Amino acid sequence: MMERTTDTMLRGERTREATDRKLMQATLQIAVDRGISGVTIEEVARRSGVAKTTIYRRYHNADELLREISAMYLVNPDAGPVPSPTREHFTQLLQRLVDWVRNNNIDVKRVGIVLSSEAEFFQHIVNQVITPWLSRVAAFLKQGVTQGVFRESVDEKLLLSTIIGSLVAYEAIEGKAMDDDTAWAARMSDLLWPALLK
């Protein structure tokens, strides 16, 4: 009996997470397409496929929905040990970014709009997304400098901006999703690696 209760709880948790993900994606899509004022419970329900009654049980109005969605947890890069500063590990770091984008169903084409917006809703999301990746890149670079592999003057913000810009430009120019191209990380590594070295 206890096992069935645990299974039911886990299933309920997964369902809630899936619903939260749908609501987050629909809200972001509407906010980017129509602006913050375009986010209504009705439009979120229509785009997400989640019943209005379900949304209203969680959020009293669109403002509360926006506040909660902007604070919603996004899967961040793992905080495991910083890998040694090798080209292979740099390529893996880039691939993890692509995997993270895919796992969070982030529409890379809209990233530029989100990054350039000054709306508080978007700024909170940018901080949730960019800060952990910037920390990861900075730790990798710091270890490379400490071990005498990388130049001390490498700007981690510029490096991450270049990587994210490449993700956006790739999808815009190639017209296909980043996750369709498993070679992107290796090609970016080929391009950027020499600029990191001492």
27 has pLDDT over 80: yes
Taking residue 188's Cβ as centre, other Cβ atoms within 10 Å add up to 21
| Domain limits, the chain | 2-71, 87-196
pLDDT at 44: 96
User: Which of the four pLDDT bands, split at 50, 70 and 90, describes residue 119?
Assistant: confident
Residue 176 pLDDT > 60, yes or no? yes
Whole-number Å distance between alpha carbons of 13 and 168: 33
Asked if residues 178 and 170 have their Cβ atoms less than 8 Å apart, the reply is yes
Give the separation between CA 35 and CA 57, rounded to whole angstroms.
24
- Please give the CATH topology (third level) of the domain spanning 2-71: Tetracycline Repressor; domain 2 (1.10.357)
The residue among 17, 20, 65, 72 whose CA lies nearest residue 41 is: 65
Question: Do 34 and 121 form a contact (C-beta atoms < 8 A)?
Answer: no
181, pLDDT greater than 80: no
C-beta separation of 92 from 168 below 8 A: no
Alpha-carbon Rg of the chain, whole angstroms? 19
Take residue 126 and report the two structure tokens written for it. 């940018």
Confidence of residue 179 (pLDDT cuts 50, 70, 90): low
The CB density around residue 111, as the number of other CB atoms within 10 Å, is 19
Residue 112 class from Cβ within 10 Å (0-12 exposed, 13-18 middle, 19+ buried)? middle
The pLDDT of residue 3: 61
pLDDT band with cut points at 50, 70 and 90 for residue 96: confident
Structure tokens at 56: 């209203």
